[in-house]
Structure 1
Amino acid sequence: MTTNHLNSESELLQRIAGGDEAAFATLFNTWYPLLSTLVLRVTRSEMLAEEVVQEVFLKIWMGRESLAYVTRFKPFLWVMAKHMAVDALRKAASRVAREQAFGQGLAQTEADQEPDYHTLIDEAVNRLPPQQQKVYLLARRDRLKQAEIAELLGISISTVKSYMQLSVNAITLYIKQKAGLGVAILSILKIFS
């Protein structure tokens, strides 16, 4: 690589770090085809590769300020893309496993005459601590956004997120204990539908 190329790449990264959209478009157009090929080799799925490459460039743009400190962009890009491709494959494999477990759980649950989902969910929600219960009901029943809930209750968005996570975990655990894994999976899907 020539010194001139390194200087122009460094300058391009500095411009992007400063928010220059045209510089980012240049970077995107330069690296997109090669990166797509690399990610396609890892994922072996055109659709997944396309998603990963778009996420890589979105992540670069969202964290563009850090580009000012990148001295070797190609290795930086390759490592980021490889990690994101592997993560995407893991998520896809996990999703397939959940769908298979769901299918098996559904068949088993139907055979075992599952308990009423809504009753189990209501029982679990009633057992939540008061503040978690409020947050959960505002999010699920009233369909409020996290920012709206935070403002309404005078708490931070991170607290709302934390309460939601704790609530869903507690509800899932309760349903697992009362009805088994298959019903818990079905109930969780009901919670999020």
Structure 2
Amino acid sequence: MHFQDDHTLLSRIREGDENAFSLFYEQHWAIIHRFVKKYVKCQDLSNDVTQDIFVRFWEGRDDLPEISSLKSYLFVVARNAAFNVLKKASVQENLKEKIVLAAVASRNTIEDDMLSLEYLDHLKKVVETLPAQTQKVFSLCREEEKSYQEVSQMLGISKDAVKKHMVRSMKLLRVSIQNALHVLLALIIVLAIGLYK
């Protein structure tokens, strides 16, 4: 099956032509999935979001606007869907953790490194506003990857005190990131400094 243009394909989909929709799905699923995954990082979550995009497209076919380019329209819908997932992740810890852990596993591109470097300076300034002892604890735990027990022995403070310092520093960083940056960038920045190890 082949359609000459998007207008014809869209018309057939609006009429409930399942074959036309199947063709549309086959032509666009992979590229939309890759696009969504750039934002949400997680394979399973990307599958769900992409599937939901096409289900909503089919179910809402009667109300589709006039579209000059189906692909462009899909990218806008996909971007909005991905951003909605990231907004949810900013308040749902389990979803945030899922995205960040997936990003940890896939973080190997030059773009990720450049983005991280661009904002590490911002984070450094935030950390410098912490009390001196909290800065020491944060540096030892995150930069030198010491355990709470090791830091406790090195600084002569209790393990609970180390934990309190880390809770204080991570709370400040999260608030600062959420207030200053887009949710997507916030997740990448948290990843860059290793808060979710």
Normalising by the smaller structure, the TM-score range is 0.3 to 0.5
Higher helix share: 1
TM-score of the aligned structures, taking structure 2 as reference length: 0.44
TM-score of the aligned structures, taking structure 1 as reference length: 0.45
